[in-house]
Structure 1
Amino acid sequence: MAITELAVFSQYKFKKETPNILLSIIIPIYNREKSVKVTLDWLKKTTYDLTKVEIIAVDDHSQDHSFDTLADYEKFFPNFLIARRKQNSGGASVPRNNGIKLATGKWLLFLDSDDYLTEHALSDAMAIAESGDNDMVCMPYARGLGSTRAISKSAFSYPTTVTNLAFSQTKLYNSLNAVGKLFKRELIDEYQLDFPDSIKVREDNWFMMKMYSVSLKIAILGNQKTYYFIGEQDGESLSKAGTPPRDAVKIFLSVYDFIQALPIDETKKLEFLALYLNRYTNFIKRGTFAPVRFFDHTKETLKTLENHPLLDDNAQTFIQDLFHHKYDLEK
């Protein structure tokens, strides 16, 4: 990170003992001084060589002792970077973007501060990452004790590890959150992928739908072992508020423009758009103005997309209703 970019932090400690980092683990944190101890205590147990890892924790100007708690763990990790933002950003996007800029690893992994990885998770995932030409390695999720957060079992239905998958061969459209997945850093840099600072809920969908669209080969670890535990949905979680339609359409249209600009054939573009629209139709259509914005921006493509075999009935009906003026398109 450039010196000018360090100006966003009021405190930081950078400990770097080993060169040639393979994996950067990015942890955004806000008011999680207790739960982050669990996250870091599990990371201490990893069977993977920690000299190849850097832990990057970005404190989004917490009002508790989160930064001090992080500092207490410096002695356990050879490469440990912690920073406290001068101002709270209101969501996970900005701390994650700060973490991306700080990261030096060939692979990136986002880990939430109330989640944790099992001892073998990094070893198994990095073995796949480093042994082939996959662009992404996905870990199955499980609920932590007391957690009420939704997990996407259908996306991780393979009993043993499967590699070299195309996105359309998977059900990863049911897993649009960014945690628990290893990303090839060079793809993030090549396509300038980041998280939207103006969106607080489903901000990782913005990143993930684009990342899936440029990841030609994806690996999914087998579900007979446990890897990533989703923590409790507590008072600091923003996901309880639901997804505002105005944000949902902003996310989808950003992804739409990104895919349309990719140097891939139209068949692949339509596959991605159909699968993503299946997930986003209900978010968009419940808004007053969101359907209008969506239609105005995409109507030329919708003529072709309407009968796509991957489009579900709900999304197909939504497109038909738009063309038949069920929504007030004059607003």
Structure 2
Amino acid sequence: MTYRIAILGASGYTGAELVRLIATHPQMRITALSADRKAGMTMAEVFPFLRHLDLPRLVKIDEIDFSQVDLCFCALPHATTQEVIARLPKDLKIVDLSADFRLRDPAEYEKWYGQPHTAVELQKEAVYGLTEFYRDDIRKGRLIAGTGCNAATGQFALRPLIAAGVIDLDDILIDLKAGVSGAGRSLKENLLHAELSGGTHTYSAGGKHRHLGEFDQEFSKVAGRPVRVQFTPHLLPMNRGILATVYVKGDAKIVHQTLEKAYENEPFLRVLPFGGLPSTRDIAGSNFCHIGVIGDRIAGRAMVVAVLDNLTKGSSGQAIQNANLVLGIEETTGLMLAPMFP
């Protein structure tokens, strides 16, 4: 069976990544694409790398006939998404890539995003979209809330360790490096080539990054008590990729064994042999996450390094993985493409 797919916000990076991946998906066909400022244009005009594909023209959301859509991906900015999804048919299957439905507590959403949540009833329905840990709920869900890309990376490194109780929950530090596409496609002065290239900088430091809301929510749920991590993100002058170096107190060999056991049957998660460390170049353009573990010269400490592509496994690839589950398709369908190298 072929499912009819709409993508809202197709003129952004995650929208384009959805198109790239769905283009070779054997059971999905794109029937509607929306954009705001670029409505009326073709995808070839907006993204020349997609000019070989036969795609519908970009239109305004109100011009889409959702009765002819089986599943809708929302790749819209936060806050905008709440209003849009509230207007969509109540039986339409939706995979959201924004931040609007990730946090279960509306007060937490207001705390981290600076404005009240305007679709609280929908929030109650949303399923958190970290596929490997919410697979059964996602299969039964209608509205799936994709994770933040940084939040996904940190959780892949830490969730099994927290669940198994093999690390000190009060001493966790996540030092994360991210590519510039994670900031979106909107024009920003600090992302100009002359101001970004050749350097790196820390941003949203000191407990200000919004993805901390997801870490607080998910790690505390796993542990059964409050867990607060230190999290410092850095922006690197590269297009794609996230590398999270996570410092924990615990036996390094046990940390490695715990992760290896947790992910032994996961198709997209690869734990390297003990002492091996991954690179962002190893996962570029793919839906894979690679994880490495090493010890430290200080006894009782370990370092976990996790890498993934922020646009694929961190966003659009994860969204398709979730959509496969929602539609009853084999989870890996359309996502087993090898990483790009060099």
Q: TM-score, normalised by structure 2?
A: 0.26
